[in-house]
Amino acid sequence: MALVITVNGAQHTVRASPDTPLLYVLRNELHLQGPHFGCGLSQCGACAVLLGHRQIRSCVTPVAGVVGQSITTLEGLPGLYAYTQATHATAPALHPLQQAWIDEQVPQCGYCQNGMLIQAADLLMRNPHPTDTQIRQAMNGHLCRCGTYSAIIRAIKRAAATMA
Ligand code: FES
Ligand code: FES
């Protein structure tokens, strides 16, 4: 059936069964390759996207469940940042978190990093100045086999300082 979903500020009409995982629609229909398939069981976080300002796992979210709501993927983070900052007329090339990820050389294989960035964006919208403990608590549930956790904490703190 035809469903209209809003992703990164644009409406898209997609043809999918209502129970199709949102992840499949994002990757296969809209060709957004930020969210990754990892476990498919809401256990790893690789598929994370924002529903409004909150992180969800797109591998276990039926596409019909997000009709009428706003989805942001990794590709849409700069636009979301511009939208939430009154001083930004146009979207920057990178969200401050993405720039901080580069500056701190966070990614190794990169597979988990979509979910890490999405969860970090969720955190900084709720708590612009998180402590190390608050960062660890917020990022709990996102798994990185390469062990980039320390670099992620540094990058989130760097981005928070930039955004202050
Ligand atoms: S692929 Fe969705 S949480 Fe692992
Ligand atoms: S960077 Fe390789 S799994 Fe996290």
**55-64 pLDDT per residue, tens:** 999 999 999 9
pLDDT at 89: 66
Q: How far apart are CA 136 and CA 4, in angstroms?
A: 36
Task: Considering every ligand atom shown, identify the ligand nearest to the alpha carbon of residue 106 and give its number.
Answer: 2
State whether the beta carbon of 110 lies less than 6 angstroms from ligand 2: yes
The pTM for the full model equals: 0.96
Give how far Cα 19 sits from Cα of 50, 62, 64, Å: 19, 5, 7
Q: In the chain, which ranges are E strands?
A: 2-7, 10-15, 48-51, 54-57, 70-72
Instruction: Decide: 49 in ligand 1 pocket, CB within 6 A.
Output: no
What is the CB-side half-sphere exposure of residue 155 using CA atoms within 13 A?
A: 25
pLDDT band at 125 (very low <50, low <70, confident <90, very high): very high
Ligand nearest to the CA of 49: 1
Supply the pLDDT for residue 90.
Answer: 81
Closest atom of ligand 2 to CA, residue 147: 4
Neighbouring-strand partners of residue 21: 62
Is 80 exceeded by the pLDDT of residue 87?
no
